[in-house]
Chain A
Amino acid sequence: MNYISSDLKVVGSRPIRPDGVEKVTGRAQFGADMRMAGMLWGKVLRSPHAHAKIVSIDTSKAEKMPGVKAVVTSKDLPHIANEEAFVGEGPMNFRDLSRNCLAWDKALYEGHAIAAVAATSQSIADAAIEQIEVKYEVLPYCIDVEDAMADNAPVLHEDLFTAGVEPKPTRPSNIAKVVTFKKGDAEAGFKDADVVVEGRYTTKAVHQAYIEPHACLCSYNADGQVMIYSSSQGHFMVRAYCSKLLGIDLANIRAVPMEIGGGFGGKTLVYLEPVAIALSKKAGRPVKMQMTRDEVFRASGPTSGATMDVKLGAKKDGTIVAAKQVLKYQAGAFPGSPIGPGCMCGFAMYDIPNVDVVGYDVVSNRPKVAAYRAPGAPISSWAVECAMDDLARKLGKDPIELREQNGARNGTKTHYGPTHQNIGFLETLKAAKNHPHWKAPLKPGQGRGIACGFWFNIGGESTAGCHIAEDGTVVATSGNPDIGGSRASIGMMVAEVLGVPAERVRTIIPDTSSINFSFLTGGSRVTFATGMAATQAAERVVEDLKRRAAQIWEIPVEAVEWKDGKAYPAGSNAGAFEPLDLASLALKAGRTGGPIGSELSVNAQGAGPGFGVHIADVEVDHETGAVKILRYTAIQDVGKAIHPSYVEGQIQGGATQGIGWALNEEYIYDAKGKMDNSGFLDYRVPVASDVPMIEAVMVEVPNPRHPFGARGVGEVPIIPPMAAIGNAVCGATGLRLYDLPMSPPKVRAALDAAAPKLAAE
């Protein structure tokens, strides 16, 4: 059923989330908050070298220490052939995942896990780590993409040959693959253009920087059954990956979803759980592990740094006739950067007849990258949206009008193939143009920039349930960890269908043995796909409730209506019966067929893509190079905001991560390939005093494929901020900055370099 045009009573309101009180009182249990009797503490020994052969590992001294109950290396995990599978988030190479959890023959980045111990206290475990003797043969390393792609670059994997080139190469390379997307004839298009802009843009690796470090408690029982308590973006993914890496049947693993303290894509895979299970198996006791912040930075996936060349060609009237982009993304130690989406998203919001995009997935000696909110797209749009701004200036056109003129609409064919349907880009641009921020006056020295973003959003397999307790109150179940308020929205959709107030529905997230499979929480899919499953489960319950009322009243089921939480006879012909509410029907459940409830799985298709347009006003301090954000407006097509506060929250949070990416965040490496700034002091994420209020404007172009019209919203908002700010800095200073982050030293250097020129003007 589709409720898009209905009069909604719950969906669209702002009730307090069902898990709110436990979170504001400190009772909610996160990954590191569990304990079990007899629990041991696990710690990891990590490589001090960016690239080295592991000649030998001697664990004998550590094993003999009092209090040490187990020591493991990769020899304690089954050897996995080069196999990909899709039980998780996109293709996952399990051989790479295993050797990322515990190194095989090589340390591939500083921080790479080499061995692990389990001991009776944290301090003993820390001391035991120091007693493990590893002989390394240090090798030359490479970090940046250009260095890793060079002919004489140190090669990470002797069995990695570049895919996507013909003929198949014979020499191993750090270029894992090349992807290309072409539409029309870009060369001809550029010849036809009146105006051309181009630029080389770079970004540095940035971390998702969730405040909760990875943590888990795993207990391997003597009969081979395993309990895993961990926070993740998918407890079914945790179960599946541990099953694969340890060779344990899925049904023998029960993964309990603890509350998760942020993920943003970085917790869509496992680092500690397989190691903890191996330790627990050897020690015969539960093992708890948590990463320090230093380990989170050094050894869990940030996203790619990149180098990009972009070129745009347009006619005098503003029609863009050709676009070209070459993208080189860091994958970290193993292949798998988000180069595909990066190639697809940069131009996805424009209708351009001739497009040529080439992307390179490049390995180098740094942690394996993990997904980060719209993986690949923010990087790509940094280049494209700055170039669009340069184009607008060169043409003398308003930057919003240039985008409107070339904007994708329903029926626009993308450069990567499919045709856009049911999208809201033009509506979002219009909302930006009409927003008071766009026309607000600027003082001298201030600048304003806009930029756009596109993300596909995904659907996929989800399970949800709706159970009516004996007193008529409702429990909803969701197969997806709640990373930002989804318990509230799922409960609200169920409440809407049942016709009861939001507070009558409590939503929980059962473990992997207590609910059927759900694909992980990511890709902006939970409100869409799990919401769809929850809505359908509630609809099934309503049909069942009507049947039971019909049985009680002895009338045909077609003669029963369900409205506002009650069964009514449909029309006076049906009979003069008093309505039956949930409580009355639940009371008679046993007599009318048994317990009332439904669990339902979907493979949701038709996830609607999302578009965002952000406006940023900045001021640049010419002495320090510091960029201050004066005002920020983020406009996004959200389809339908189920719980507007949490949709605003996604927009504000994503925008702020983008602001950090734009102005301060980066991995800084020293001369030995080690990360210099592996803590929150020097890896500077935005703090409360760095940002103003962020106005989130929700444009609602409903997605007809979701019962309430919802689109995924979580990922789009991180895409526009970098270029919006870069364009604002350009407006404030006249300078185009090409390299992220636009941190004070870089801005100051750019101002100094331009000073003679600016003085002359």
Chain B
Amino acid sequence: MPKVLISGSSCQRLTGGRTELEVAATTFRRLVLELEQRFPGLGKQVEEGMAVAIDGEIFQDAYSAQFGADSEVVLIPKIGGG
């Protein structure tokens, strides 16, 4: 099962301090739904406030972004710019 690393501390309150989670999802959309189910509020926080980096590539808004069992999946705070 893919491991998801949650970077930064903004989600820790919702996950009870856990920063590494195993998930059954293989798309970002499914990941968000699964996280919301396991930790109410977390899915929304992730969808609205975070970007997902899959094997190093950052996706900011893509439900269809896919990952496999061996992918490195990291949730990082959304990035803006100037």
A and B touch in the complex (CB under 8 A): yes
Binding site for B on A (CB under 8 A): 84-86, 89-91, 163-164, 166, 168, 177-181, 208, 264-266, 268, 338, 340-341, 343-344, 370-375, 416-421, 455-461, 522-525, 603, 605-607, 705, 715
Instruction: Tell me which residues across on chain B come within 8 A of A373, comparing CB atoms.
Output: 82
- Residues in A with CB closer than 8 Å to B78 are 86, 90-91
Binary interface profile of B, 48-82, with partner A (CB < 8 Å = 1, else 0)?
Answer: 11000101111111100100000010111111111
Given known A166-B13, A416-B8, contact A375–B81 (CB-CB < 8 A):
yes
* Dominant SS among interface residues on chain A: loop
Partner pick for A605 among B55, B56, B62, B82, CB 8 A cutoff = B62
Q: What would 18 more interface pairs be, CB under 8 Å, given A164-B10, A371-B80? A: A84-B48, A90-B80, A166-B17, A179-B77, A265-B82, A266-B82, A341-B79, A371-B82, A372-B82, A418-B58, A418-B74, A421-B57, A456-B79, A458-B81, A523-B79, A603-B62, A605-B57, A715-B81
Give the chain A neighbours of B37 by CB distance below 8 A. none
When distances are taken between beta carbons in the complex, the residues of chain B under 8 Å from A341 are: 77, 79-80
Q: Is the CB of A456 within 8 A of B58?
A: yes
B27 within 8 A of A: no
Smallest CB gap from A375: residue in B: B82
User: How many A-B pairs with Cβ below 8 Å?
Assistant: 121
Cβ–Cβ contact A371 & B62, under 8 A: no
- A-side contacts of B13, CB under 8 Å: 163-164, 166, 168
Size band of the interface chain B makes with A: 20 to 34
Return chain A residues, CB-CB under 8 Å to B65. Answer: 605
Contact, CB under 8 Å: A421 / B56: yes
Cβ–Cβ contact B58 & A177, under 8 A: no
Given A419-B56, A605-B62; A181-B80 close (CB under 8 Å): no
Q: Min CB distance, B25 to chain A, in Å?
A: 18
- Give A303's nearest chain B residue, CB to CB: B82
When distances are taken between beta carbons in the complex, the residues of chain A under 8 Å from B75 are: 417
Give the residue name and chain of the A residue nearest to B47 (CB): A86
CA gap between A370 and B80 in the complex, in Å: 11
A638 to B13, CA, bound (A): 39
Q: Would A607 and B58 count as touching, CB distance under 8 A?
A: yes
Nearest CB of B to A521, in Å: 9
The listed residue with most A CB atoms (<10 A of its CB), out of B59, B74, B77, B82, is B82
Decide: A340 near B77, CB < 8 A? Known: A84-B48, A178-B9, A607-B58: yes
Q: In the complex, A583→B82 CA distance in Å?
A: 41
Instruction: Take A456-B58, A605-B62 as given contacts and tell me if A417 and B76 are in contact as well, using a CB distance cutoff of 8 Å.
Output: yes
Q: Which residues of B contact A461 (CB under 8 A)?
A: 61
Q: Does B5 contact A (CB under 8 A)?
A: yes
Give Cα distance in the complex from A86 to B80, angstroms. 11
